Amino acid sequence: MDVAIITRQPNRRRGTILRSERLVWTGSRQHHAHEITPLPLALFPEGCVFREHAINALDAQGIPWRIAFTSQSFAGGKIAVSGGLALTIVAHSMVPPEWRVLDGHEHLPMLPDIEIALHRAPGTPTRAAALLEAQLVESVRMRADGT
C-alpha cells in the first residue's frame, strides 16, 4: 500500500497528522437507545480505537453497557443505530443526518479527540502515489474546514 489515511492509535506517533476530531455519542433521531440500561452499543470489533474509547469512558463512570451489535463496517453499525437498537461513537464529521449527537446527555461521559493521520510506504513515492496523497490530504483538510 502506497498511502493510507487512518485513525491513529493512542501513544503511537507514526504518520503525519492531518487533523484532530471530536468523538461523539450518537443515536437515532427517532429512538431513545441512550435511555436503556444497560446501554446497548453498536461497535466495531475488538482492536478498534473507537470501541476502546467508548468502553473505557463508560467503565470509568460506572455506567452499565452491553454490546448489542458488532460490525466490521460503518454501514452495518449504521443499520443498528438507525433502527434504534443501539448507540455508538463516531467522529463528529461522520454523523449521518438521521442520527443525533448525544454529547452532554445527563449520563454519557465525554469522549477524547482522535487524530487522523497519513501513512506512506517507505521510499520515494511513485508519481501516482504522490498525486493520490495530495488529493487525499486536500480532501481531508477541506472536510475539516467544512468547505
Q: Which residue segments constitute the domains of the chain, with CATH numbers given?
A: 3-145 (3.40.190.10)
For residue 118, the SS3 value is strand
Taking only the tens place, the pLDDT of each residue in 31-89 is 999 999 999 999 999 988 899 999 999 999 999 999 999 999 999 999 999 999 999 99
pLDDT of 115 strictly over 80: yes
Strands 88-91 and 65-70: unpaired
- Contact in structure between 8 and 1 (CB atoms under 8 Å): no
pLDDT at 144: 58
Residue with more model confidence, 109 or 6: 109
How far is Cα 109 from Cα 54, in angstroms, rounded to an integer? 9
Residues 6+ apart with CB under 8 A from 15: 6, 8, 117, 118, 119
| Nearest residue to 87 (alpha-carbon basis) of 22, 21, 19, 33 | 33
The long-range contacts involving 131-134, CB below 8 angstroms and separated by at least 24 positions, are: 132/2, 132/3, 133/2, 133/3
